Structures are given as structure tokens and as C-alpha cells.
Amino acid sequence: MTTLVYAATPTRFPDRREAGRRLAERLAAFAEADPVVLGLAPDGMPVAAEIAGALGAPLDTVAVASLRTEAGANRFGTAAEGGIAFFDPDQRGQVEADPEAVDSALLATERWLEQRSAAWHRRRHPRSLHGRAVLLVADVLGDEQTAAAAACAARDRGAARVVYVAPQVRLASALAVVDWVDEIVCLETVEQELAASDCYTDSRPVTDAAVRELLLESERARRGATRADAG
């Protein structure tokens, strides 16, 4: 099932947190599924944190990165943590022309993703997703390859169901992603390609330090709720 609400003129949100609060209202019914909220880090994390807080759900991250043979080269694909890679069919010639450079880029990007995830989690292991419903949250769905790679990473970590969540999605991207996720939930669907600057008044990139703090805040809030329930 896919929830798509067409908007001729996209809403411009004040910031990612406000978009997350509005999405949380639409996602209230998912609390019954006891989901894990997985932010497509770093920029999806403020949106994801608001959703996780509203649903009382655990918060975690998934990381993706563009694949390039060298700085400035065309992207030939997208990688996600766990050794997952999607290749751009339009860049097939580049891949076939220099397979050694492609292999080197794959290995280097996988190491970089592992290091970044470890830094976000302060060297602790990411949360298990085995058998869980996962709300995979981005700040915008404009690139279907990134969404597909992130969804595959969630499946690889054991997710039983993946719901892709974003405030706004491009219709063509949503149609391309439905093969990789069980459902898409958004506030608006638009025709044009979207960037963060189109969606948010404050579209500044989210720092690694902010990702770490959001994970810590979420864990503190869940521990506090557990103590309150026990009391």
C-alpha cells in the first residue's frame, strides 16, 4: 500500500523537525506495530527523531553514499552500509571501462560508511532490526537509487517490513521505489525533482555531532519512559 497525496505547489516547512512532527501525526497508527524508526542519516535524522519520539519507538540510522571512481567523476552508483551497491545503468560504460577503479571505489566507500556509522553510534553496534517493522525516514525522496539502497540495507539487517517515509516525494521516484519497500507514506507528492532547499526554510546539512546527539536524546527518553512505566 502506498499513500500518495498530490500537491501542485509543495509546502515549504520551517525545518526538518516540523516536517517530522507533521508526519508523526499521519504515522500514529504504526505505533501498534512496535516499529524501529531508521533515519536516512545524516539529513533524515531530525525528521526521524520527531517520529520516533511521538511513537515511543527506538531510533537508529542507516547510511548511504554515492559511488565515484574519483572526486569530480560522474556517480556510477550508490552504496549502503553492509556491502550493498546499486549501479546506475546510464553509467555502464564507465563501470566496464575501468573495473579496477570501480572495485577500489566500492571498497573505499564501504570502509567510509562503516567508519561513519561507528562514529554516530559511538562504537556501539547498530540496533538489530530482526523481524521488526521499520519506518525508513528521509528528509526528501528525490533519488530512488538512494532509497532503494537504504531499504536493502534495512532488509539485510533483518527488517520484516520497510515503510519509506518522507515529507514530500517526487511521483516518478515513488513509483520506482515501490519495488523495494512495502509502503510509502508522505505528506505530499509532487511532479518536480526535490532538494532539501526546496522543502525547508532551514535546509542546513545535519552534522555528525547532531546525529550522535539525536541518538542519545532518543535513548535517554526511552529509558526515562521505561522507568516511569515501572514506577
The residue ranking higher by pLDDT, 38 or 194, is: 38
Q: What is the CATH number of the domain that holds 159?
A: 3.40.50.2020
Which residues make Cβ contacts (< 8 Å) with residue 168, sequence separation at least 6?
7, 10, 11, 140, 141, 186, 187, 188, 189, 190, 194, 199
The answer to whether 77 touches 88, Cβ cutoff 8 Å, is: yes
> Does residue 113 lie in a domain region?
no
Q: What is the pLDDT of residue 184?
A: 92
Separation CA 5–CA 187 (nearest Å): 6
Is residue 86 domain-resident? no
Taking 70 as the threshold, does the pLDDT of residue 7 lie above it? yes
- Percent of the chain past pLDDT 70, that is, above it, reads 95
Has residue 120 been placed in a domain? no
- Kindly state whether residue 125 falls inside one of the protein's structural domains: no
Question: Is 192 inside any structural domain?
Answer: yes
Model pLDDT, residue 157: 94
What is the radius of gyration, based on Cα positions, of the chain?
A: 17
Question: Is 9 part of any domain?
Answer: yes
Q: If we measure between CA atoms, which residue out of 195, 157, 179 comes closest to residue 62?
A: 157
Kindly report the pTM of this predicted structure. Answer: 0.91
Per residue in 128-145, pLDDT (tens digit) is 899 999 999 999 876 789
pLDDT digits (tens, 9 = 90+) for 165-224: 999 988 888 888 888 999 999 999 888 888 899 899 999 999 999 999 999 999 998 887
Averaged pLDDT, 76-92: 91
Please tell me whether residue 20 adopts helix, strand or coil conformation: helix
The total number of structural domains in the chain stands at: 1
Does residue 88 form part of some domain? no
Q: Could you tell me which residues are beta bridge partners of residue 66?
A: 78
Residue in the structure block whose three cell numbers are 563501470: 95
pLDDT at 100: 92
**CB neighbours (10 Å) of residue 188?**
18
Q: What is the pLDDT of residue 144?
A: 86
Confirm whether 225 is domain-assigned. yes
What range defines the domain where residue 20 resides?
A: 2-63+130-230
